[in-house]
Amino acid sequence: MEKKIRRFDFAKKPYRPSAFLFFLAKNILCKPDLKRRKATIRKHGMEPYEDVPYLLLINHASMVDLNLMMMSTHPRLVNNVMTLEGFRDYTEPLMRGLGVLGKRKYVSDIHLVRNISYCLKTLKTVFAMFPEARYSLDGCTSFLPESLGGLVKMMKVPVVMLKLHGNFVTNPQWNKINKYSWVEADMYPLLTVEEVKSLPSAELFNRIKEAFRYDDFAWQYENKIKIDHPERAKGLNCLLYKCPKCGVEHRTEAEGDTLRCTACGKSWYMDEYGRLSGSDGVTEFPHIPDWSNWERQCVREEIRNGTYYFEDTVRVETLPNAWVFHKQGEGKLVQTPEGTTLTCNLYGKPYKLEKPGMILESLHVEYDYKGHGDCVDISIPDESFWCYLSKKDAITKLSFATEEIHFLAKEKKTAAKRSADNKGETS
Q: How would residue 2 be classed by pLDDT, with cut points 50, 70 and 90?
A: very low
Q: What is the pLDDT of residues 78-134, one digit of tens each?
A: 999 999 999 999 999 999 999 999 999 999 899 999 999 999 999 999 999 999 988
Q: What is the pLDDT of residues 183-237, one digit of tens each?
A: 999 999 999 999 999 999 999 999 999 999 999 999 999 999 999 999 999 999 9
- pLDDT cut 70: percent of the chain above it: 98
Q: Left (φ > 0), alpha (ψ -120 to 50) or beta: where does 247 sit?
A: left
Report pLDDT for 427.
Answer: 59
Residues 163, 214: Cα–Cα separation, whole Å: 9
Report pLDDT for 418.
Answer: 80
Q: Is 111 exposed, middle or buried (0-12, 13-18, 19+ CB in 10 A)?
A: middle
Report pLDDT for 3.
Answer: 53
Residues 161, 72: Cα–Cα separation, whole Å: 11
Q: What is the pLDDT of residues 76-91, one digit of tens each?
A: 999 999 999 999 999 9
If one counts every other C-beta atom within 10 angstroms of the C-beta of residue 382, the result is 13
Cβ contacts of residue 32 below 8 Å, gap of 6+? none
Residue 68 has pLDDT above 80, yes or no: yes
Report pLDDT for 148.
Answer: 95
Computed over every residue of the chain, the mean pLDDT equals: 95
Residue 6 has pLDDT above 90, yes or no: no
Q: What is the pLDDT of residues 252-281, one digit of tens each?
A: 999 999 999 999 999 999 999 999 999 999
Residue 423 has pLDDT above 90, yes or no: no
Residues 227, 182: Cα–Cα separation, whole Å: 10
Residue 384 has pLDDT above 80, yes or no: yes
Residue 421 has pLDDT above 80, yes or no: no
* pTM greater than the 0.85 cutoff: yes
